[in-house]
């Protein structure tokens, strides 16, 4: 296995400018990284402008951004903890109450179809125990792995994007 050296700044000079600029397409860059045996991080695209435009989802979006940052740092437990906080923020900011038992009311306020709101609530309620696995006080301790954190990000991000479009 070869390891890349410490990065250092280089300066290319031609007769007309101080530097040469070259753009690498994302697909070529991913192929290059893969060829160097670097891992690929999966990107999750969210309509952030839509999410942040809604005052009810602004804090949830911030929590989700924090979860993504923890994932980038390799802190899987905090990734999952912040994903849980996304749903807590949605409930609190939608109902004005710091009471998780109000979750269905929160989703009914965001989703006009009551059957869909109930279904979304049921999905999130069934997902909550998975997110709680990252709590530090768990006995016995449960090892949280990158794929656990990635699952948490995918489901949380998908739900947040769905709620933003309602």
Residues 94-143: tens digit of each pLDDT: 998 888 788 999 999 999 899 999 999 999 999 999 999 987 666 677 88
C-alpha R_g of the chain: 21
Cα(31)–Cα(27) distance, rounded to whole angstroms?
A: 6
Question: What would the mean pLDDT of 43-60 be, rounded to a whole number?
Answer: 66
With a pLDDT cut of 90, the percent of the chain lying above it is 44
Q: Which residue has the tokens 């768990």?
A: 138
Answer yes or no: is pLDDT of 18 > 90: no
**For residue 16, what are the CA distances in angstroms to 19, 20, 21, 22?**
9, 10, 13, 16
Tokens representing 134 are 């990252």
Cα(145)–Cα(77) distance, rounded to whole angstroms?
A: 8
Question: What would the mean pLDDT of 18-33 be, rounded to a whole number?
Answer: 69
- pTM of structure: 0.69
19: left (phi over 0), alpha (psi -120 to 50) or beta: beta
pLDDT mean across residues, the chain: 81
With a pLDDT cut of 70, the percent of the chain lying above it is 73
Count of all residues that appear for the chain in the document: 166
Cα(115)–Cα(132) distance, rounded to whole angstroms?
A: 26
Q: Which CATH architecture has domain 48-164?
A: Up-down Bundle (1.20)
Q: What per-residue confidence (pLDDT) applies to 12?
A: 53
Answer yes or no: is pLDDT of 86 > 70: yes
Q: What per-residue confidence (pLDDT) applies to 24?
A: 74
Cα(22)–Cα(94) distance, rounded to whole angstroms?
A: 47
């Amino acid at each position: 296995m070869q390891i890349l050296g410490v990065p250092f700044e280089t300066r290319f000079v031609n007769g007309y400018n101080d530097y040469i600029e070259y753009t690498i397409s994302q697909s070529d860059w991913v192929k290059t990284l893969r060829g160097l045996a670097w891992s690929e991080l999966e990107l999750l695209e969210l309509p952030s402008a839509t999410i942040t435009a809604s005052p009810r989802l602004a804090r949830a979006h911030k929590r989700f951004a924090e979860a993504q940052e923890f994932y980038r740092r390799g802190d899987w437990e905090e990734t999952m903890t912040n994903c849980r906080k996304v749903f807590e923020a949605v409930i609190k900011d939608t109902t004005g109450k710091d009471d998780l038992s109000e979750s269905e009311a929160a989703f009914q306020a965001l989703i006009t179809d009551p059957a869909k709101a109930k279904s979304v609530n049921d999905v999130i309620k069934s997902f909550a125990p998975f997110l709680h696995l990252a709590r530090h006080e768990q006995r016995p301790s449960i090892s949280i792995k990158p794929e656990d954190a990635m699952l948490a990000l995918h489901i949380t991000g998908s739900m947040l994007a769905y709620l933003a479009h309602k």
